[in-house]
Structure 1
C-alpha cells in the first residue's frame, strides 16, 4: 500500500458495515495489516440462536486473517457493534450510536444483498433503506474524514460506458420505498420487471437507487463511491486464490474444476 495512503489511517477509527462478507473480510484484513488504525467498529447482528461473541470468533477464524494471526494483539482493534441495517436506527443502542458518532473518522458501507433474484421489496429494504439509515448515522459523526459507499459497476448496466460520476436513478428512491411498503406481494411481483427495466435484476436497480440516496448527502460530508465489477478469488491478498463464497463466476469455476460442468465441442 502507498505510504501516503497508509498515513491517512494513522490513529483513525473506522466503522464498517458488512465486515463479515467476502469484501468486508478483505477490507478488515488489509486495514489491520497495512494501516495504523486505532480501532475498527464492525456493525454486526448475531446469527439466529447465537451470540455476538460467537459471530466474532467465527469471523476471526477465517483464513483471510492467517497472515496477521501471529500478532496476538491485532484483533484487539476490532470492536463489534450490535446492529442490523434492516432495523430502524440500525438496531443500535443509544450508547453505541453515541460512541460511534464521537469516535469514528472513516466509514465503509459495504453491507448489501448481492442476490440478483431477490424480491424487489427485500432488495429495496436492504440496499436502499439500509443505505439511508447508515447515512443518517454518518450525518451525526463529529470528525468524519470520508464516507465510502460500496456500489457496483452494474448500477447502470444499460450504459456502454460508466464514467466516474453519479447517474440519476430511473425513479425517485422515496417513491419506490413507499411503493414497496403498501403494495401486496402479488401485484409487486407482477410489476417488478417493468419497474426495474432496463436493469436485468433487482440488484443493479436497487444499487442505482442507493447511489441516488448517497448523492442526496453530497455537500454534508466527504463522500466516495466505489464500483467493483465481478468479484472473484483474490489475486494476491490476503493470499492468491482466497475466496469464501461461490457467488457469480466462482460457482462456474468450482463446478468445472470438480467435473460437474462438462462442455462438448
Structure 2
C-alpha cells in the first residue's frame, strides 16, 4: 500500500468501528453553534473566519473581537475585510455569509477585553466554541506591553470561557517556539521560564525595563514574544479547570498551500521577508548551517487543525496540546529550501552562504550585499532616479536580526497527536480539512509560496 492508501484504510476502519450513526462530521459538529473568534484581522485569523464560513456552512453566528478604528464603524471594517481576495470563493458560494458575522467591540489588552455588558451577556448565552488567535507578534516589543496583551488577554478570554453556559471548546493558538530550550518538542506543556507572579510583580516596579533582570527571566527564550507565549501556556494549564481546552502550537506560519487561494498571504512576517530577499538576490548570507531545519507550516493547515481539534474536544478529559509543525515528520532544511527556490524559474540561481560566525556574517554581508546596494543606488542617483537598494538592505538587516536565532538553531517538533487526530477523521473530513504535514510536497509548495508572494505582496501578475 502507498502512504495515502494506508491513511484512507485507517480512516475507513475508524468510521466503521464507530458506526455511521456515532461518527459526527466536523461540519455537523458546528451546525447551529456560535463561535467567538479573536485576532480576525490578522493573517491567521482571516483564514479561520473564511474556512469556518466556507466549510461549516450551518454555523449560527461568528462573533469577532474587533477594536474601534477612527473614521470606520465596525460594520464598515467587516465589509472591508470581506472585500479582500481570500474571501472571493466564499462570497461566490454564499453572498449572504457576512450576515453571520457580528462585531464585538473590545481590546485584548483591556480588563475583561473591554467589551460592553450587553456584548458580554450575548457571548455568555450563545457561544460554545472559542478560538483565541489574537496576539502581539512583534518579537522585541516592550515586555510590559506584550505580557499585558499575550498573557493578560489570554487570561481574560479564558475567564470569559469559564462563565459561558454552553462552552464545548476553548482553542488557544500558541507557538512552537515558546520552548526553544527543548531540541525535541513534545506535545505537552513544559515548565515556564519564569514564575508569572514574579514577572508581574517586576513589571509593576518603576524600573521594569531593567535589561539584566529581563534577561534573567528569559533564560533560553530568544525574545519577549516567545517568553510571553510560554507564560500564557502555563496560565492556561493551571487555570482552565472544567473548560475543555486545546493548545495549538504552529511553527513558522507561511503562505497557504491550497485554501482559500493557493499561496495566499498578506504579511511579510515569519520567513516571508527573508525568503523574498534571498530569492530576489538581496540576501546572500545567513547565520546558520544548510542542514538546519526551517519548520514551515501553511496557514490553511493551522486553521484546519484547530477547527478539527475543537470538533473533537468534548472527548478529552484534560488539556490537549497539538504541535502544528513539519520538522518531526517531513523536515525541510535551509539547503533544500534554496534548492527548491532554484526550481521555481528555469534560469534562477539563488545562492546563499551559510556561516555560524557572526564577524564573518558581518564581513560577508558588507561585501556581498551592502557594497553592491550602495553602488547601485549611486548609479540610480546619477541617472536621475530615486535610490532604493540601501533602503531594502536596511529593512533586511532588521529581518535578519529577528530571525537569526531561528536560522542558527534547529529543532525537531513532534506532531504525533496532530497526525493521530487527522487519521481518525472520515475520508470526507480529511479532504475538507487537510492538515497532515506529511502531505506537503516541499518542491511544489515553495513554488506556490513564491508565486503567492509575487501575486499578493509584490502585486505581480503570475
- Shorter-chain TM-score: which interval? over 0.9
CA deviation after TM superposition for structure 1 residue 258, in Å = 4.4
Q: 1:229 to 1:25 in 2, by over 3 A?
A: same
- Aligned length, in residue pairs: 263
- In structure 2, the partner of 1:174 is 197
- Per the TM alignment, residue 49 of structure 1 is displaced from its structure 2 partner at its CA by 4.7
> Hey, what does 2:29 align to over in structure 1?
8
Counterparts of 1:151-230 in structure 2 under 5 Å? 151-187=174-210, 189-230=211-252
Q: Is the 8 A contact 2:202 2:208 kept in 1?
A: no
Equivalent-residue separation in structure 2 for 1:183 and 1:150 (angstroms): 32
2:118 corresponds in structure 1 to 95
Question: Structure 1 stretches (4+) deviating beyond 6 angstroms?
Answer: none
Structure 1, unpaired ranges of 5+:
none
1:33 to 48, 54, 60: 54
Deviation at 1:133, TM superposition (A): 0.9
Cα deviation 1:27-69 (Å, max 9, x = unaligned): 1111000012111000000234543233222211221111111
1:114 is displaced (CA, Å) by 1.2
Aligned equivalents of 1:216, 1:186: Cα separation in 2: 27
Change (3 A) 1:51 1:257: farther
The DSSP-based 3-state class of the residue aligned with 1:80 is strand
Larger of the two Rg values belongs to structure: 2
* Contact 1:14/1:104 (<8 A) preserved: yes
Give unmatched runs, 5+ long, in structure 2.
1-10, 12-23, 285-350, 354-462
What value does the CA root-mean-square deviation take over the aligned residues? 1.8
Alpha carbons 1:128, 1:173 under 8 Å: kept: no
Which residue number in structure 1 is paired with residue 301 of structure 2?
Answer: none
- TM-score (ref. length: structure 1): 0.93
Once residues 199 and 161 of structure 2 are traced to their aligned partners in structure 1, the CA distance between those partners, rounded to angstroms, is 23
Q: Give per-residue Cα distances to partners, 1:109-130, cap 9 Å, x unaligned.
A: 0110111111111111111111
| Residues 42-191 of structure 1 aligned to structure 2 (within 5 Å) | 42-70=64-92, 71-187=94-210, 189-191=211-213
Are the equivalent residues in 2 in contact too, given 1:84–1:92 (CA < 8 A)?
Answer: yes
| TM-score, normalised by the number of residues in structure 2 | 0.55
